[in-house]
Amino acid sequence: KAGVTQTPRYLIKTRGQQVTLSCSPISGHRSVSWYQQTPGQGLQFLFEYFSETQRNKGNFPGRFSGRQFSNSRSEMNVSTLELGDSALYLCASSLRTGKTYEQYFGPGTRLTVT
Amino acid sequence: KQEVTQIPAALSVPEGENLVLNCSFTDSAIYNLQWFRQDPGKGLTSLLLIQSSQREQTSGRLNASLDKSSGRSTLYIAASQPGDSATYLCAVPYNQGGKLIFGQGTELSVKP
């Protein structure tokens, strides 16, 4: 089975622009979660989508949004980029087994805001 | 509020040593705990997942234990190799879903 894929892998944007990142989950996985990783804050949860509905949300401003399509692929969008949005953005897909959602991560998108 | 702590933040050992990485969490009502490995600039690789009903989980040279009552997990790496050099992260689910709370990680360096 193919793993989680993320596109693009690298991105350079200017302050004030917007960006869209894409994540394709492992086939059969219906849950997709997004995380932001920075040296100072570590890994922080952005949001989770399950069956096209946002199920969990982290403490990020409304500039960060996401969506999930019927094929479980997910996109996240960041509007009005700030320098502090420079980070590695990771998505993970998971499949429920009992009460457990074991998460599998993609390679990430490295976003640099200048 | 669930908080996850990992000690030490960094560890440097000579090749061949056995080592233990620690993870503690404040809320013992967890469904499972997952250990990951991250190489610099890369995504996370799942190493082991321990269910709340399990005490241990093993994969090759890796052994993870879980003590829910004390809010602790350990990752034991036997006969360490330079290729084990990476950051190791533990994470617990926030609820029954796809939100994980991560520790800050332990950066491991294994010297040849």
Q: Is the pLDDT of residue B97 over 90?
A: no
Q: For residue A43, what is the nearest residue in chain B, using CA coordinates?
A: B102
**Cβ distance of A99 and B31 shorter than 8 Å:** yes
Which three-class secondary structure state does DSSP give residue B30?
A: coil
As separate numbers, helices (DSSP H) first and strands (DSSP E) second, chain B gives 0, 11
Listed as ranges, residues in chain A with pLDDT below 50 are none
Output the DSSP codes for B73-98.
Answer: EEEEE-S--GGG-EEEEEEEESSSSS
pLDDT at residue B1 in the model:
86
pLDDT at residue A106 in the model:
96
Does the beta carbon of B96 lie under 8 angstroms from any beta carbon of chain A? Answer: yes
Give burial (CB, 10 Å; 0-12/13-18/19+) of A106: buried
pLDDT at residue B16 in the model:
97
Mean pLDDT score, B53-57 = 92
**Cβ distance of A105 and B93 shorter than 8 Å:** no
pLDDT at residue A97 in the model:
73
**Cβ distance of B100 and A107 shorter than 8 Å:** no
**Cβ distance of B43 and A101 shorter than 8 Å:** no
Does the beta carbon of B80 lie under 8 angstroms from any beta carbon of chain A? Answer: no
**A92 in Cβ contact with A32 (< 8 Å):** yes
Q: Is the pLDDT of residue B95 over 80?
A: no
**A42 in Cβ contact with A87 (< 8 Å):** no
Q: For residue B32, what is the nearest residue in chain A, using CA coordinates?
A: A100
Contact residues, chain B, for A97 at CB < 8 Å: none
In terms of pLDDT, which residue wins out, B100 or A96?
B100
Write the CB contacts of A79 (distance below 8 Å, at least 6 apart in sequence). Answer: A18, A63, A65
- Matching residue, tokens 């040296």: A39
pLDDT at residue B94 in the model:
85
